[in-house]
Amino acid sequence: MKQMSDINEVANQIEAILIATPEPLTKGEIAGKLNADIGEIGKAMNLLKKRYEGTALELKNYGKKYKIVIREEYSEIAYRYSELELNKGELEILAFLFKNKKAYLTQIKRLRGPKAIEEISHLEKLGYVKLERSGRFNMLRLTRSFIKKFGKEMEKALKEQNPEVGNQNLEPSVQSGDIENPKSDDPNSQGEKQ
């Protein structure tokens, strides 16, 4: 095993990896990439957390995985001045919603797998989708601002892929209110919990 005695250097390498990789990583995955001891990785990550105190960045954990992200209070300004970058999964969700007008949250989870919640969260921050309660279930819909901004382009792209897409009413019915901690998302889920 390669010895990495300088904790600052380990922290710098972890920082580079977590910024460069699109998905969060576990301490074990990071240790494997750096050929380092997991205890050393933990110490270096604690150093990173301290470095980011009082800055716009934070080392955020998602269960047992970690990613360097922009703090919530700075995300609006960051998105406002960054180029629109949507990953393939987010584009897939938007296309699915555009074609179907709405979807149960569990449908999107089945479509995208474990990445769905993070992708939906990013799309909500951008103001493109809205998660809302519909009876006992959570529905995901496109927002009016998304339709105004991209509706014509999406419709054209879908028509090119599927000529049967006709003149749909593109205006989604958006209700006010966010839904948190849903108990069930789909009437077909038979009690599936989030």
Nearest of 52, 54, 56, 40 to residue 3 by alpha carbon: 40
CATH, domain 7-76, list 3.30.2270.10, 1.10.2020.10, 2.40.10.10, 1.10.10.10: 1.10.10.10
- How far are the Cα atoms of 30, 127, 193 from residue 119, in angstroms, in the given order? 23, 12, 19
d(CA 116, CA 87): 12
Nearest of 33, 34, 35, 45 to residue 7 by alpha carbon: 45
Nearest of 163, 120, 164, 162 to residue 142 by alpha carbon: 120
3-state secondary structure of 125: helix
pLDDT at 115: 86
pLDDT tens digits along 97-142: 888 888 999 999 998 888 889 999 889 888 889 999 888 889 999 9
Non-local CB neighbours of 157 within 8 Å, separated by 6+ positions = 95
CATH, domain 88-189, list 2.40.50.140, 1.10.10.10, 1.10.1740.10, 2.60.40.1190: 1.10.10.10
pLDDT tens digits along 48-73: 999 999 999 999 988 899 998 888 88
Domain boundary assignment for the chain: 7-76, 88-189
pLDDT at 193: 40
What pTM did the predictor assign? Answer: 0.45
Domains 7-76 and 88-189 share a fold: yes
pLDDT at 159: 67
pLDDT tens digits along 132-181: 988 888 999 998 888 877 777 766 666 665 554 444 443 333 333 333 33
Helix axes 27-34, 7-20, angle to 10 degrees: 110
